[in-house]
Structure 1
Amino acid sequence: MGRIALLATLVVTATTTLASAQTYSAEQRRQCTGDAFRLCSSAIPNVEDVTACMRKQKAHLSISCKAVFDKPVVTAVSNNED
């Protein structure tokens, strides 16, 4: 039970850190979190290191993660010109 709690804590920490440090879509986090743990666990929770590691490991990413990995994230921009 202790391992499951630790893993759950790491997942929450990693996804929260990813969301706050760089804009990733929910889909990117959902599709790539497993790959991040599998390929780059030693870099967690440093988002920049995880991202660099994932880029280096791109050939080994799962098909679903590869499909979303380099997708640009569209953010809403407010145009306050009146």
Structure 2
Amino acid sequence: MKSATLTLFAVLFGSAPALAETGADRAACTPDVMRLCAAQIPNAGAITLCLREKRVSLSGACRMVVDRSERSAREIANRR
């Protein structure tokens, strides 16, 4: 379990652009990733997609992180 948690942190926060950018983001989404998207660990892209697909099942705090991430991605895409 400890190894999976460490891998999860590396995936969520070691990739760019990271879904979770702060410690508070990590704390908000880690339980949801473990509960809903554990099969996708350590694939950061798959975890992100899983969280977006399961948005209605996310905790409120993690849903805010995912929504913020989606807004940021749209803003970056619109600049191109």
Q: Report the TM-score, using the length of structure 2 for normalisation.
A: 0.73
Measured against aligned partners, the alpha-carbon deviations of 1:34-62 in whole angstroms (never above 9, x if no partner) come to: 10010011111100001001100000001
Larger Rg, first or second structure (1 or 2): 1
Query: Identity of counterpart residues, as a percentage?
Result: 30
CA distance in 1, matches of 2:26, 2:67: 12
1:43-62 mapped onto 2 (5 Å cutoff)? 43-62=40-59
Q: Which runs of 5+ in 2 are unaligned?
A: 73-80
2:77 aligned partner: none
TM-score (norm 1): 0.71
Matched, 1:17 2:14: no
Which runs of structure 1 show a deviation greater than 3 angstroms over 4 or more consecutive aligned residues?
none
Correspondences of 1:1-82 after superposition (within 5 Å): 7-22=1-16, 23=18, 24-25=20-21, 26-72=23-69
More helix by share: 2
